[in-house]
Amino acid sequence: MPDTTFPEEFVWGAAAAAYQIEGAAAADGKGPSVWDMFCRQPGAIWQDQNGDVACDHYHRYPEDVALMRRIGLGAYRLSISWPRVFPEGVGRVSHPGLDFYDRLIDELVGAGIEPWVTLFHWDYPLALYDRGGWLNRDSVEWFGEYTERVVLALSDRVSHWLHDTVEVYGHVDGSPHRHCCCRGRCGSSHDLFILEDRSVMRAASFVPMPNSATLNAFAPRGSSFSKSAFAAAPPRTSTATPFLTRIVIGRLPERLPMPAIEPSTTKTPSEAPRLASGRLLPTGDFQMSPVHG
């Protein structure tokens, strides 16, 4: 039988995403996300469910952290809701929203649970979707501004940062991000790497980030994997090769099929439905009602 013994340094933990558990969809000035909009498209979600309340983690996080401690978790991977911190995606900061994560981190640290923080887990600000979303190259600066504010507020207690969980292969059919993020595998992934690099550099310019990573949809397997071997002869048939080259070696391959990157443009709300290809509600038809304040 295979050895199932975990090393002493192995950390048992759990993970969740903001939209999955927080609820409080419009509390304390939180702005809407593309998931808030998508869940209001009739038939898009089973039984038209949404995350307005979810697990109500926003209000019940002390109970949730107590449960984590009770079952012996050593770490918790949470995500920050971008529109909870920046209701319009950029510019004005919602201090009640940022304070929620400040209290949550304190609660985790006090319980002896190490926080691992993901900066983006799909809940893209609707206000920025109206301006083109990830398709707008200004998104690199938008995400950088958001990263800087969050890292500055939490990095005194958070050592482990994950930039995003945008899957490099493109998003699954039915997800709102299929329509506001991806132009194709190589194009969206290349932009993703630019975004990550700018995000790290912006944060590292004023706060040390000793442990940062990205969550992607692949990983090398097997004990034979080595950086030197990969650099000498990277696999030529794997769709993951360009992205592993960037992560392992620190650069993209010399030749990478990539669509032309469009110049930065600003999409107005009236143009947003064209980006959605008819699958998402036009944002002018979208309304949020406050839940729990």
Domain residue spans of the chain: 13-277
Question: Strand, coil or helix: what is 3?
Answer: coil
CA 164/CA 195 separation, integer angstroms:
10
Joined together, the tokens standing for residue 240 give 């993951």
Buried b (16+ CB within 10 A) or exposed e, 251-271: ebeeeeebeeeeeeeebeeee
Q: Identify the CA nearest to 115 among candidates 143, 165, 156.
A: 156
C-alpha dihedral sign at 45, 50, 54, 57: positive
Give the span between the Cα atoms of 65 and 77, in whole angstroms.
Answer: 12
Find out whether 152 and 119 touch, Cβ atoms under 8 Å.
no
Give the pLDDT of residue 250.
62
Low-confidence winner among 9-23, 90-104, 222-236 (lowest mean pLDDT): 222-236
Asked if residues 90 and 132 have their Cβ atoms less than 8 Å apart, the reply is no
Res 137: pLDDT: 80
Higher pLDDT, 84 or 169: 84
User: Distance between CA 255 and CA 172 in Å, rounded?
Assistant: 27
Mean pLDDT of 255-277: 41
pTM above 0.75, yes or no: no
pLDDT at 110 over 90: yes
Q: Is the pLDDT of residue 88 over 60?
A: yes
- Which of 2-6, 150-154, 279-283 shows the lowest per-residue confidence on average (mean pLDDT)? 279-283
Q: How far apart are CA 248 and CA 231, in angstroms?
A: 8
* C-alpha atoms less than 13 angstroms from C-alpha of 200 in its C-beta half-sphere: 16
CA-to-CA dists, residue 216 to 11, 24, 46, 121, 290, angstroms? 20, 28, 27, 12, 34
Which residues on neighbouring strands pair with residue 115, listed in sequence order? 76
pLDDT at position 113 is: 98
- Over the stretch 133-183, which tens digit does the pLDDT of each residue have? 877 888 888 998 999 899 999 999 998 888 765 543 333 344 555 444 444
- Closest Cα partner for 53 from 288, 292, 293? 292
* 84 vs 92: CA distance, rounded Å: 11
Highest mean pLDDT (candidates 95-99, 178-182, 186-190, 289-293)? 95-99
CATH class (in words) of the domain with range 13-277: alpha beta
Determine phi and psi for 118, rounding to 5 degrees: -95, 130
List, in order, residues 6 or more apart from 210 with CB less than 8 Å away. 159
Provide the 10 A C-beta neighbour count for residue 113. Answer: 21
Amino acid at 263: P
